[in-house]
Structure formats: C-alpha cells, structure tokens
Structure 1
Amino acid sequence: MSALGDSVKLPCGLVFPNRIVKAAMAEMLGGFANAPTPSLLKVYGQWGKGNWGAVLTGNVQVDVNHLGTPFDPALASGYTDPDTNKDLVETWRQYANACQEHGPPSIVQLCHPGRQSLRFAGRRGVFASPIAPSAIPLMMGESYAQQWMSWFVFPPPREMTQADIDLVTRQFVDAARLMADAGFSGVELHGAHGYLIDQFLNPKSNTRTDVYGGSATNRAKFVLDILHQIRAVVPSTFCIGIKFNSADHNSASFEHTMTQISLIAEAGIDFIEISGGTYEDPKMFDAGQTQPQPQKSARTAAREAFFLEFASAVRARYPTLILMLTGGFRTRAGAEYALSQNACDLIGIGRPAAIDPFFPRLFLDDSLTEEEARLTLKRVSVPFWAKLIPLSAVGAGWESSYYTRQIQRIAKGLRTIVPL
C-alpha cells in the first residue's frame, strides 16, 4: 500500500486522513459582495467528496479594501464574537460545512496582497495606493512599456506606518478567530508568492530600518506577531500553517530564509507549505508544464516537484517540522518519490484538482498501474494578442486563469476541459 494513504497528525492534534492535500487556487467566486457564494460552496462540496487528506481554500483576503482579484472572498469589517456577528459567522459556517461535511479537514488560506493588489480590485478606490512594508513598486519588466503597464495594473504602494501594521495584524487575527468560530479546522497564512507577508520577509521588498527591517529576524517580526496573536485567541486544536517561498541554495538569502523558518518553527507552526515565485518572477505558475522544469542539479523523471531540493534542505535543518510540498506533482511515482526522500509529509495538488475534484483516487487506488496513476497536463496555449502585452507574468497569468475557469465549470456542474 502506498505511503500516500498514511494519516498525518499535526502538532495541534488535527489529523489528515491521508497525505494528499488539495492546494489553494484562485476560484474568483466571491462575487461582487466578496463573500462565500452558492457557487463557491458547490465547488468545495465537490472537493469535499474527493477523498482528500485536507482541503485548502483559495485566498480569503483579510481586508476587502485590498484584494488580489476583484472577486476574492474577504472580510468587509472587523470581527467581534459569535454573538455580535451572528450573520457573519453563519455565512462562513456554511462555507466550512460545504468543505468538511464529507470528512476532510479544511484550512482557510488567509492573505493580504500588499503591493500586489490590482488597481481595480478592492474598495479603496482606483487611485488609492496599496500598502507595503516599503514604497517599492512592483516591476514586471525593465522596458518603459513594461514599467508603464506595471504602474497601470499595480499602483505604486505607500510604506506602511505602525498604525497600518497594527491594523493588518489585527485583521489577520480577527479573520482567524472568525474561521475558528465558523468551524474550519485551521488557517494558513499566505507568506509566499510576493504577497504582503512575503514582502516583509524579503529584503528586496522590505528596506525598512525599524524593528521590521534590516535583518532576517526583524523582517520576520510582522508574521511572528500575527502567529503569536492568533495562537493566543484560537483553540489549541486549531491548525495554523504558513505558505512559504523557497530560496535558491546558491543565493545570499538562503541562510536568511533558514533563519526565518527557524523562528516560525519556534513560534509553534503546525505545518509549512513550500512553494515559490512572485508576480515579478512567477515560478508558482510553471506547473502547467508537461515535463518537469529544468533544475540546477540533475533530475530523474520521478523528481517532478519544483521545490523538492529546497524542501529537502529544510528537512535536514528542521527534521520535526511538518512539511507540505506543492508544485508540479502529476504522477503517483513522483509523489511517492518525494515522500521516500523524506522531503515532505504532505503532497499539495493544485491544477489537477481543478480538472478532477476526485483526483486522490488516482494516487490511492492500488489497483491502478503507474501509467494509470497520473494526470498529464499540457501547457495552456496563450492567444497571440496576450503575447503582445509587455508583462512578464501575462503568459503565466493566462494559464492560471484557465484553471480558474475549470473550477468555475465544476461549480456549474459542467465537465472540465483538459488543456490540449
């Protein structure tokens, strides 16, 4: 029997019945109200039946004024308690029930986009600035055309004040309290892909000289404060995870990244999901390749996970951490290889879940051969007009939106379409 069918117990006591986790993906089903909709509940009801070890939701933004996309679910105001906010709790309880009524625990991915908030997303207004640790604009290319397009799509951010930092910290904590009261099994802080937490952690986007910048330890203060404050107000059995960007082993930031992981581990994290990329360098969108991405070291066909080497390095330093590895898994052999190398405990599955909500059966059914236990996904073709837009992430974004459309087809009860 495959090790993929083994259960995993997190430090908080939550048990995943198997190792295959539906990873977070953009659904764009929050509607104009930016709240859980019947369509969102329907698609998660399908994933809930899929025999996943756990189901991670797509981004739930902690501030409706700052959204990654116009239709992200988000918190429109502060949260007090279940008695004061009965309607709010009931809305999110329906979401939790849809995810979990068929068994798998569900974890809500909490996010703030920071400077990666689209100009036309959120209720702050199209001319209002997004916020970031430092006033460093997002640049998706070096040419004048690319710089202008970057400015038009992503307005230059303003540097956060202490009051801003305190507010966003409270928003993360309030969101976690609401999810716990609504019945979700946990939350995952989105600390990767160039969103706000990642912006604080990264010296390229955080040039502050106060207690939030200047060193790897100081840059981790923002997320550590959020972690400590959430842990203080949710049940001890409530899971808190984090999505974390990998680092190049040869880069100067590698040891800084390891220092930050050590601090996060000491704060009592339940799991760390290893991913990678930002809007400026969208590694997280490369999962549409039919073949594994080229790596700096030699690869075998089984080593299909994009961030396997980094996960192995984290495991070597911190052997007791529960690690989830997401990005590139398409075959049972590849997933089993990652487990056999002790690189991770959990296998994150993204785009295959958008094609087949019951994907785990391919990996867990021992009667299937190795050739049958796979889902090949070719790269999505980018239309010619999209290639004319001078932004580095357009192609990757087009591919990501293809899978978002497949999620929306699941919500409508339609068959999904495998890219040809």
Structure 2
Amino acid sequence: MSLLSSPLTLRCGLELPNRLTKAAMAEIMAPKQNPDDKFPRAYSEWADGGWGFIITGNVQVSQTYLGSPKDVAIPLPNAGTPALQEAWRNWATTIQRSGTPALVQLCHPGRQSPQGAGKRSILTKNLAPSAVALNLGSSFIPRVATSVMFGTPREMTRAEVTEAIQQFIAGAKQAHLAGFKGIELHGAHGYLIAQFLSPKTNLRTDEFGGTPAKRAEMVLRIIKGIRAATSPQFCVGIKMNSVDVSEQGDGGLQACLEQMGLIINAGVDFIEISGGSYEDPSMFQADRTAPVIGSTAAPAAPARIPKASTRAREAFFLDFAKTVREYYPKIPLMVTGGFRSRVGMEAALESGACDIIGIGRPAAVVPKLPKLVLLNKEVVDADATIRLKHVEMGWLMRKVPIKSLGAGAEGAYYGGQIGRMGKGLQPIDTRV
C-alpha cells in the first residue's frame, strides 16, 4: 500500500481513508450568505471522488465583516430558521454521502474585509488587533485602492475580541449541529487570527499582545471554547502561515514554533501549513510557467516522472513543515500548495515532513482526482500528474502595480469552476 492510499486516524478519533484532502477554496456563490442548493450540487462532485477528507471554502463567523460579498456566513443568533438549518444539514450530508468526512473552514477577515462585503455602513471601519493598514504597494494606485477598498482598521476593544472568539465558537457549534465532522480555523493568509499571531499586525500590550504567547491567546481561547461546546470526537484543525515567518526577524521562527506548541497543547487535531496574505499572495504561485488559459500554445510534451529537484520544490511550504516536524513529531501536519504529481506527493509523505496532502485548484478542475488519477492503480506514475494552465489577467489589470490582483484573478477563475459545478455543469479541463 502506498502512503497516499494509507488511512490515518487523528487525535479526536476521526478516521481518514487516505492522505489526500480537497483543500479549502472560495466558492463565491452565496450572495445571501446561505449554503443554498448550489453548494450540495457542487460538493457532490467531490463527495464521490475518493478524498481522505474535504474542507469547505471560507465560512465567515461574522455577518458584519465578510471576505467577499458572496461568502457563506454563520447565521446570526436566533436567526437559524428550520429551512436554513436544513440547508446546512443537506450540505453536510451530501459531502459525506460516500463516507468521506467533511470540515468547515471558519474565518474572520479582520482588516481584509473589502468595502461592500458585510452588513455594515460605508463609514464602518474594519476591525483588527491594531490599527495597521494593509500595504498593497507604495505607489499611488495601490495606496488609493487600499484606502478605498479597506481603509485603516480600528483596533478592537477587549469586548470585541471576546465577541470574535464567541463567533468562532458559534460557528463550530453550527457545523457540529449540521453534521460536519469538524472545523478548520483559518489562521493564515492575513485573516484575523493570523493578524493576532503576527507582530507586524498585532501591536497590543494587553492579554492579547506583546509576546508570542499573548498574541496566540485569542486562538487558544477559541480552541478551548470549541472543545467545550462540541464533543471530544469533533475535529479541530488550524491553517497557519509559514512564508511570512522569515519577515519577522531572527526570532520569527522561534515565536511561530512557540505559538504552535501552545496551539497543539490547546487541543488541535492537525495543522495545515500554508502562507501568504493580500500583501504577499504566495498561496497562488503554482503553474507560473504553464501555458495561459485560452492561449494557442502547442500541446504539452508527454508526461514524465519529475526529477528529484522538481519533486523537492513541488510543495511550497514543505521545508517549513520539516522544521515543525522536528519540534512537534506527533501532531499531524497537512501541507497545501504546489503539489502536481503522485511522485511528488509520495516523496513528501515519505520524507516525514507531512502526513496529509492538501490539493486546491486541481480539485476544482478534476473533482474526482483521487479516484480517477492519484489513487488509480491503472494510472502509472508518469501519467499521475495534473499541471494546469496559468490564469492570466487582462492587459489593463497587468498594468496595475498590485500583486494581489493576480491572486484575485486566480481565485475568481477557480471559484468560477466551482460555480459551474453548482449549476450542474462540469468544470473546464485546463490540464496541460
């Protein structure tokens, strides 16, 4: 049995049939913030695909602050009507109909909530640990775009931090009630939890800032609160940043590892290693040398087994995961980003750096990727690859000096593929 196809039991007792995870991707199809019929229709494509487990896209814990105007959000207290609760149960039941466990990714955007996303007035400022504005670029256009779309956030009061903690706990309770097997806290990509963990965005000197441990206090209270509000068998994972650690000075790595130790002790079942933010969108860096979608480039050469050097760089965040493994050998680690071949995935697992392989954009193109390709014994290693065409921005957008525009174009394109599945259509196959 290959490592990819081997089962894994998490600390909460959740059994994963294999090591392949459909990672979280933005669906961008909930204008009323509810998981309507499009969601079970789209997720039914992944349900029968042979995944080890499935993670939903961002579900916002606040109706006031959303990551996009079409995010799913946790119902307001006492607003969970029978019809809405049934929609949630239908979503959970559909995803798990073939025995694949599903988790809800819970998120609060903090300072990364764009204007028009959420039930708030145009004058209401975003919330953040400290009043540190986004930096999308130093030239005139990025500064104006930042000011118009996000503004400078307002530092959260202690009461507001406590409220956000309770919102995450309420989100986990909602997922538990609906029948999901667990949740993943989004503590990466520059969202609120990541903002609290980072000394760049958390300048507080109260119990929620000032030291690595205090910057982690918010998420520790969230984890402990979820454990108390659900059940011992309910899975709690967290996605954490890696690439921005190097930007925090010589103590950045040690601070991050200290925070991870506290988070592990608080009771998480796995840690997903990712990275990047709106300021540095490194979570969208794969396939840059691939042909552009819609181009007339010649067909790709026949697939070949990747060289060792290619396999070594295939996972963006694997080196950081290896460091985490040295310090915390027992916590299951999931690495997401850049995997494009069975050989590369097996090599990552064999190295001991990770236990779970997260797959994002390829899963939006081939939703049954494990069953059809990666775990299919009839597909030889040389053919067990999935390299995608690069999503190119329009010429006008390429002139704008904002790095996150490219990430936005990528996200919108693959969100559109999920939207196609939500309409009962198949995604467009952009493999090369």
Q: TM-score, normalised by structure 1?
A: 0.94
Residue of structure 1 aligned with 2:162, choices 150, 161, 166? 166
Name whichever of 334-343 and 282-291 sits farther off.
282-291
Give structure 2 stretches of 5+ with no counterpart.
Answer: 291-306
Match of 2:370 among 343, 360, 374: 360
The code of the aligned residue for 1:345 comes to D
Instruction: Provide the residue aligned with 1:397 in structure 2.
Output: 408
State the distance in 2 between where 1:195 and 1:249 align.
18
Name the structure 2 match of 1:40. 39
Contact 2:276 2:282 in 1 (8 A): yes
Identity of aligned residues (%): 46
Corresponding residue for residue 311 of structure 2: 302
Q: Which residue does the alignment assign to 2:322?
A: 312
**8 A Cα contact 2:21 2:359, kept in partner:** yes
8 Å CA contact 2:141, 2:400 repeated in 1: no
Amino acid at match of 1:336: E
Retained in 1: the 8 A contact 2:61–2:108? yes
Matched, 1:126 2:136: no
The SS at the match of 2:105 is strand
Separation in 1, partners of 2:346, 2:12:
25
Answer yes or no: is the 8 Å Cα contact 1:288–1:399 preserved in 2: no
Output one character per residue of 1:203-229: Cα deviation in whole Å (capped at 9) or x when no partner: 001001111111100100010010011
2:417 to 406, 410, 414: 406
Cα distance in structure 2, aligned partners of 1:89 and 1:174: 14
Within 1, Cα distance between the matches of 2:424 and 2:382? 28
1:234 to 207, 227, 230: 230
Alpha-carbon distance in structure 1 between the residues aligned to 2:141 and 2:10: 48
Please, which of 173, 191, 197 is the counterpart of residue 195 of structure 1? 191
Q: Deviations over 1:339-369 (max 9, x none)?
A: 0100111000000000011011211112211
Contact 1:290 1:379 in 2 (8 A): yes
1:321 aligns with 2:331: yes
Distance 1:70 1:299 in 2: 43
**Structure 2 counterpart of 1:295:** none
Name the SS of the counterpart of 1:71 in structure 2.
coil
Alpha-carbon separation, structure 2, partners of 1:20 and 1:213: 36
Aligned residues: 410
Match of 1:16 in 2: 16
Distance in 2 (alpha carbons) for counterparts of 1:305 and 1:418: 22
Q: Distance in 1 between matches of 2:385 and 2:121?
A: 45
Q: Which residue of 2 aligns with 1:142?
A: 138
Q: Is the 8 A contact 2:36 2:87 kept in 1?
A: no
Inter-partner Cα distance in structure 2 for 1:335 and 1:249: 25
The whole-number CA distance in structure 2 between the counterparts of 1:217 and 1:307 is 23
Q: Is the 8 A contact 1:150 1:391 kept in 2?
A: no
Mapped partners of 1:299, 1:268: distance in 2: 36
Residues 34 and 84 of structure 2 are in contact (CA less than 8 Å); yes or no, is this contact kept in structure 1? no
Relative to the length of structure 2, the TM-score reads: 0.92
For 1:60, the equivalent position in structure 2 comes to 59
* Aligned mates of 1:161, 1:299 — CA distance in 2: 51
Unaligned 5+ segments in structure 1 are 292-297
Q: Which residue among 200, 211, 216 is the counterpart of 2:207?
A: 211
2:276 paired residue number: 277
Which among 173, 181, 186 is matched to residue 185 of structure 1? Answer: 181
Instruction: For residue 211 of structure 1, give the secondary structure of its aligned residue in structure 2.
Output: coil
| Partner Cα distance (1:163, 1:287) in 2 | 41
- Distance change in 2, residues 1:249/1:203 (3 Å): closer
How far residue 249 of structure 1 moved from its aligned partner, in angstroms, is 5.7
Query: Which letter maps to 1:29?
Result: M
